[in-house]
Amino acid sequence: MQGLRRVWEHFEEGMIAFLLAAMTLVTFIYVALNNLYSMFYTLSDRWAFSSDFFASIGDHLMGYAQEMTWSISLTKALFGWLIFFGIAYGVRTAGHLGIDVLVKKARKPVQRVLAMIACACCLAYAGLFLVASLKWVWAVMAAGIGAEDLDRYGIKIGHIALIVPFGFALITVRYLEILYRIYTHRQLGLGLADEAAEATKLANPGEEHH
């Protein structure tokens, strides 16, 4: 079970890295093409002896840029997927804003009760959105509406929207794990940051002696 969890965590981190890299690459290529063809047209105007050569290159680059109208829609879709993978990752790593300053001043039993209440609220929120998003995706998939500028490749809005219930399912699983860890006295706060701290200690055992 622990090995499967590690595999999933590596997959989650890999997907976030892939989505960021894909967004960056697509945007870079689109911007580069739009700037390069104008440069070749400028060279064509300045150097008359080779104007046809530079104009031909500019025409090809402009054609490629015009064919990449899908790049903006793809970047938006990738960003949507990144958001929901990022939310689940943020819950795991406690990468959210700390708002429990007052809670940490209370006694540990009180902290534990408050953490369980907060975790239950997060579970209720994620559960409601999970059910609602499943109904929404089902309706969108049934309608078969094509995604803007991506429908030529067979991509539907429903395919992109699948990340919404999937993301809320991940969030629900994370908070169930947190609730279990709080209940078994393995942590007090929301997030799995305690686990990260334990891993850091194991990786740097000498730091405890300083």
Which pLDDT band, with edges at 50, 70 and 90, does 192 fall under? low
pLDDT at 19 over 80: yes
Kindly report the average pLDDT of the chain as a whole number: 81
Higher pLDDT, residue 193 or 80: 80
Higher pLDDT, residue 65 or 99: 65
User: Rounded CA gap, 76 and 73, in Å?
Assistant: 5
160 Cβ contact list (under 8 Å, min separation 6): 77, 80, 81, 147
133 Cβ contact list (under 8 Å, min separation 6): 161, 164, 165, 168
pLDDT single digits (tens) 20-45: 999 999 999 888 888 787 777 776 76
In a shared domain, residues 91 and 122:
yes
Map tokens 């031909």 to a residue: 56
In a shared domain, residues 33 and 94:
no
Q: Tell me how many domains the chain contains.
A: 2
Higher pLDDT, residue 192 or 195: 192
6 Cβ contact list (under 8 Å, min separation 6): none
Look up residue 166 and give its two tokens.
């999937």
Helices and strands in the chain, H and E counts: 7, 0
In a shared domain, residues 49 and 103:
no
User: Rounded CA gap, 136 and 156, in Å?
Assistant: 14
pTM, 2 dp: 0.75
pLDDT single digits (tens) 127-147: 999 999 999 999 999 998 888
Cα-based angle 74, 80, 83 (whole degrees, multiple of 5): 140
pLDDT single digits (tens) 35-74: 787 777 776 766 665 667 777 877 777 777 778 888 889 9
In a shared domain, residues 102 and 150:
yes
In a shared domain, residues 135 and 197:
yes
12, 43, 68 — which closes off a domain?
A: 68
In a shared domain, residues 46 and 2:
yes
% of the chain with per-residue pLDDT over 90:
32
pLDDT at 199 over 50: no
pLDDT at 97 over 70: no
50, 68, 86 — which closes off a domain?
A: 68
In a shared domain, residues 55 and 110:
no
23, 48, 68 — which closes off a domain?
A: 68
Domain presence at residue 210: no
49 Cβ contact list (under 8 Å, min separation 6): none
In a shared domain, residues 110 and 88:
yes
Q: Please give the residue range of the domain that contains residue 22.
A: 1-68
In a shared domain, residues 108 and 20:
no
In a shared domain, residues 103 and 158:
yes
Q: What is the mean pLDDT of residues 145-169?
A: 90
Which pLDDT band, with edges at 50, 70 and 90, does 196 fall under? very low
Higher pLDDT, residue 169 or 199: 169
In a shared domain, residues 111 and 10:
no
In a shared domain, residues 47 and 105:
no
Residue 64 · residue 85 · CB < 8 Å:
no
Q: What is the pLDDT of residue 195?
A: 47
Domain presence at residue 207: no
Domain presence at residue 94: yes
